[in-house]
Copies of this chain bind each other. A is one copy, B any other.
Amino acid sequence: MKHNLIIADDHKMFLDGLLSILKTESNYNIIFTAKHGGHVQKYISINTEEQIDLVITDVTMPEVDGITLNKWIKENHRTIKTLVVSMHNTPEIIDDLIESNVDGYLQKNAQKEEFLKAIETILGGEKYFSKEIKDIYLQNKFEKNKEKEIKLTKREVEVISLIAEEFTTQEIADKLFLSKHTIESYRKNLITKLNVRNLAGLTKYAIKKGYVSS
């Protein structure tokens, strides 16, 4: 029972490399390759009779990217498995893909063995994620949870941003047309709320959240 695969990647070299290592495995049919997600969508939409087992796709592609493609496949062709292969691995992308039920995720610098293992695992009905990807994902979840419940109000965000931008209490009060005492209250509440010790802690929080650029 041969499996039918589709590969989508706009990098000729990666495509060739992948084809070469898949060629050594006799039980995979590469039925279609594409330079971007739109071609894959079209192919799948037209060839409704053909059994398609797995779509291997890059994330960054022109026109229709891998994230969109994966979402589309999972919404319209639930039975087709997907394996995403990417150069850049931000927590956001990984999270997004896992949320939309991708079956596997590898970094492009994975070794041949891992590629084959991932494909096998996915075709066997299980999910496969490389160690690095799992680490990034868990790290992200962990941090998110650690910082949950702490929600700053609009005003608090304004104040902490200005604090991190090195303005004094009086300057912030003037800027926001508030009393100096109010800003002092905000500062104090922020320190309590965010469980930090002083301005340094507030500044680090503001940077981490992107309220200011370091």
Contact = CB atoms under 8 A, between A and B. Distances in A.
A13 B12 contact: no
A16 interface: yes
Interface string A168-209: 100000000000000000000000000011111111100110
Q: How many copies does the complex hold?
A: 2
Contacts of A17: 12-18, 20
Contacts of A168: 197-198
Interface in A1-26: 10-21
A112 B200 CA distance: 48
B164 A13 contact: no
Contacts of A131: none
Given A13-B21, A21-B16, A212 B203 contact: no
20 contacts: A10-B111, A12-B21, A13-B18, A17-B20, A19-B20, A20-B20, A87-B108, A165-B200, A166-B198, A166-B204, A199-B199, A199-B200, A200-B200, A200-B202, A203-B203, A203-B204, A204-B207, A204-B212, A207-B214, A208-B214
Interface of A: 10-21, 60, 87, 108-112, 115, 163-166, 168, 196-204, 207-208, 212, 214
